[in-house]
A and B are shown apart, each in its own frame.
Chain A
Amino acid sequence: MRKPLIFGLHAEHPLWVKVVLALLPFLLVIGLYSYASHQRHQENPSDKLLPTADQMVDAVERVALTPDRRTGEYLLWQDTISSLKRLFIGLGLATLCALIIGLNIGVFPGASSSLAPFITTFSMIPPLAILPILFISFGVGEVGKIALIFIGTFPLMARDTFMAVKKVPKEQITKALTLGASELAVTYKVVLPQVMPKVISSLRLSLGAAWLFLIAAEAIAATDGLGYRIFLVRRYLSMDIIIPYVLWITCLGFFMDYGLRLLIRKRYTWYQAD
């Protein structure tokens, strides 16, 4: 019996076909873009809407490799560092709080009764709707932006952690108690390590939301950052900067996601994703 190479339910393809198939959509989009860009520049050499690859390379050189005339800093790197700092602090705090709270409401009925309804309600607040409140109360500095990322990602991760804890079989807890574990030991030595990979998975899924809120906050009030830069140069229709910035953000997001996935696979070898 021969299995089909590409089409159908039973398709089985060797690695090279896989690679070609994976690259195909990328190449298609790049090709389409280059074609359209070329066409527009033929009509109007000063077109700004679809910059050519050369123009984008030029722009990247300007923002990444030459110091800014006004501040003497390399804009792209400065923006990246500022944005990542906000992202890491906001997301880190959210993960830590979600872990501790999700764990405790999952294990202790008292914590669950007093906190679970609040967190469920809290998660219904659209974070962007309270952005003005954050800026008014925390000012337009770092705290407001970090708070937005926190509020945007914390409830979901807390609920994910809670559900992961609930999935730990009750037998495990009883077993630990018969082995002499205290309640703290049950929570932090038996349950916590078992939900860690799931929490990291949840963090992976929250990366997208975190970026969204970061860019939104920077777009509205900031003096640097990737989102700030994109929305700043928008005024001059500088697509030659916007597009490389978007690609760069995509890259950063991709590698963070990949890193976390790798962490789960290497660090938690016993874990079988479900």
Chain B
Amino acid sequence: MNANAKIHIEDVYKSYNSKVVLDNIDLSVSAGEFCTVVGPSGCGKSTLLRLILGQESASSGKVLIDGKQVETPNTQRGIVYQKYSLFPNRTVLENVLMGKLFTEGQWWNPFYKNKQHIEEAMSYLERVRLADAAHKYPNELSGGMQQRVAIAQALIMQPPVLLMDEPFGALDPDTRDDLQLFLLELWEKENLTIFFVTHDLTEACFVGSRLLVLSQYYTDDRGIGHDVNRGGKIVADYALPSVASATTIKESKEFQDLIHAVRAQGFSPDVLQHAKDFNLKHTDSWQSLSNEERTELSV
């Protein structure tokens, strides 16, 4: 087990009624890692994010952040959603200041003004290149700008982990490329720990220093057929080159090969990999053993 783990997930199952969504997830994410999770729809990637966020609790297993069991959403985690991240009734600057207002316990005081906080918020807005838009309302901004404000709004709290739930999913392709690069640069500069969920394969292979593929399309010793209630599992775990490179890398052969490999491992209902063949060679990758596997090893 990794002592440096920001996020530590062990033996986590999540089921709704009798449907298993997450099937024995073991995962640690180191500090400073930009961890991307990709998978077909229904693989449970959003559920996994909600478990880390504390919006839902696991049916069984442990979810730890900095070694502590997660609780309902609090300042331990920052979150950027695809939409609705910003408070529509507040200006950009007010949105970024909200966290400060809450933690200072001054939210009820309409006259509270802290020069230092405003300066800090402005410096975050400068970092996301939006200082000029400080006094605009979110509905006056483009989708890409709104997402940058949402990132600044989360970052000012300096959360141990920044969670992102398909943050660029609603953007047009150019803006998306732009923001992917922007986020990579920001991550390098600020030394953030990011947990990034997306359904876009290209995006997943491009951003991040580590790529997790979550999928319900696999097989194991529990037999075949529809009566086996399998949920999403981590079927592959890659280390990615951890430098922000130009988006042109997306055209390169290595990149295309990676996408093909991931698509075959995770996205095809017809290609079923056996659980013991999963590509889990990442240095942080580990799996707790099931009882049968333990007996097998001891034999």
Contact: B85 with A182, CB < 8 Å? no
Once A174-B79, A175-B79, A272-B139 are accepted as A-B contacts, the answer to whether A180 and B89 lie under 8 Å apart by CB is no
A139 / chain B contacts, CB cutoff of 8 Å = none
- Give the distance in Å from the alpha carbon of A181 to the alpha carbon of B99 in the complex: 7
Once A171-B85, A270-B88 are accepted as A-B contacts, the answer to whether A177 and B107 lie under 8 Å apart by CB is no
Whether, in the assembled complex, B193 has its beta carbon less than 8 Å from a beta carbon of chain A, the answer is: no
Once A174-B55, A174-B73, A180-B99 are accepted as A-B contacts, the answer to whether A169 and B107 lie under 8 Å apart by CB is no
B142 / chain A contacts, CB cutoff of 8 Å = none
Whether, in the assembled complex, B187 has its beta carbon less than 8 Å from a beta carbon of chain A, the answer is: no
Once A177-B73, A270-B139 are accepted as A-B contacts, the answer to whether A185 and B81 lie under 8 Å apart by CB is no
Whether, in the assembled complex, B137 has its beta carbon less than 8 Å from a beta carbon of chain A, the answer is: yes
State how many angstroms separate the Cβ of B183 from the closest Cβ of chain A: 18
Interface 1/0s, chain B 92-108, versus A by CB < 8 A? 00000011011100011
Interface 1/0s, chain A 254-272, versus B by CB < 8 A? 0000000000000011111
Query: Nearest residue in A to B162 (C-beta to C-beta)?
Result: A178
Whether, in the assembled complex, B72 has its beta carbon less than 8 Å from a beta carbon of chain A, the answer is: yes
A193 / chain B contacts, CB cutoff of 8 Å = 89
Of B152-160, B226-234, B244-252, B283-291, the one touching chain A: B152-160
- Give the distance in Å from the alpha carbon of A268 to the alpha carbon of B89 in the complex: 8
- Give the distance in Å from the alpha carbon of A127 to the alpha carbon of B159 in the complex: 53
Q: Which of B72, B84, B88, B102 contacts A179 (CB 8 A)?
A: B102
- Give the distance in Å from the alpha carbon of A181 to the alpha carbon of B55 in the complex: 15
State how many angstroms separate the Cβ of A246 from the closest Cβ of chain B: 39
Contact: B74 with A177, CB < 8 Å? yes
- Give the distance in Å from the alpha carbon of A176 to the alpha carbon of B107 in the complex: 12
Query: Nearest residue in A to B136 (C-beta to C-beta)?
Result: A270
- Give the distance in Å from the alpha carbon of A169 to the alpha carbon of B83 in the complex: 10
B55 / chain A contacts, CB cutoff of 8 Å = 174
**B contact residues, total (Cβ < 8 Å):** 31
Whether, in the assembled complex, B53 has its beta carbon less than 8 Å from a beta carbon of chain A, the answer is: yes
Once A174-B53, A189-B107 are accepted as A-B contacts, the answer to whether A181 and B102 lie under 8 Å apart by CB is yes
CB under 8 Å from chain B, chain A span 170-210: 171-172, 174-182, 185, 188-190, 193-194
Once A171-B84, A194-B87, A270-B88 are accepted as A-B contacts, the answer to whether A178 and B107 lie under 8 Å apart by CB is no
B53 / chain A contacts, CB cutoff of 8 Å = 174, 178
CB under 8 Å from chain A, chain B span 105-155: 107-108, 137-139, 153-154
Q: Is the interface of A mostly helix, strand, loop or mixed?
A: helix
Q: Which of A171, A179, A194 contacts B75 (CB 8 A)?
A: A179
Contact: A178 with B88, CB < 8 Å? no
Contact: B157 with A180, CB < 8 Å? yes
Contact: B139 with A178, CB < 8 Å? no
Contact: B84 with A172, CB < 8 Å? yes
CB under 8 Å from chain B, chain A span 100-141: none
- Give the distance in Å from the alpha carbon of A269 to the alpha carbon of B90 in the complex: 10
B74 / chain A contacts, CB cutoff of 8 Å = 177-178, 180
State how many angstroms separate the Cβ of B135 from the closest Cβ of chain A: 12
A178 / chain B contacts, CB cutoff of 8 Å = 53, 73-75, 77-79, 154, 157, 159
Contact: A194 with B73, CB < 8 Å? no
State how many angstroms separate the Cβ of A164 from the closest Cβ of chain B: 13
Counting chain B CB atoms within 10 Å of each CB, which of A178, A182, A190 scores highest?
A178
State how many angstroms separate the Cβ of B106 from the closest Cβ of chain A: 10
A182 / chain B contacts, CB cutoff of 8 Å = 102
State how many angstroms separate the Cβ of A213 from the closest Cβ of chain B: 32
- Give the distance in Å from the alpha carbon of A270 to the alpha carbon of B107 in the complex: 20
State how many angstroms separate the Cβ of A203 from the closest Cβ of chain B: 18
State how many angstroms separate the Cβ of B293 from the closest Cβ of chain A: 37
Query: Nearest residue in A to B53 (C-beta to C-beta)?
Result: A174
Once A171-B81, A270-B88, A270-B89 are accepted as A-B contacts, the answer to whether A176 and B98 lie under 8 Å apart by CB is yes
Once A180-B103, A268-B89 are accepted as A-B contacts, the answer to whether A175 and B157 lie under 8 Å apart by CB is no
CB under 8 Å from chain B, chain A span 198-254: none
Once A268-B89, A270-B139, A271-B89 are accepted as A-B contacts, the answer to whether A169 and B73 lie under 8 Å apart by CB is no
Contact: A179 with B98, CB < 8 Å? yes
16 other contacts beyond A172-B87, A190-B87, with CB at 8 A cut-off? A171-B85, A174-B53, A175-B81, A175-B84, A176-B87, A176-B102, A178-B73, A178-B154, A178-B159, A179-B102, A180-B74, A189-B102, A194-B88, A194-B89, A270-B88, A272-B139
13 CB contacts below 8 A, A to B, read A169-B83, A171-B83, A174-B53, A177-B73, A178-B53, A178-B75, A178-B78, A178-B79, A179-B153, A189-B101, A194-B88, A270-B137, A270-B139
B interface with A by C-beta (< 8 Å): 53, 55, 72-75, 77-79, 81, 83-85, 87-90, 98-99, 101-103, 107-108, 137-139, 153-154, 157, 159
What are the nearest 9 A-B pairs in CB distance?
A179-B99, A177-B73, A171-B84, A169-B84, A180-B103, A180-B102, A181-B102, A270-B137, A189-B107
A interface with B by C-beta (< 8 Å): 169, 171-172, 174-182, 185, 188-190, 193-194, 268-272
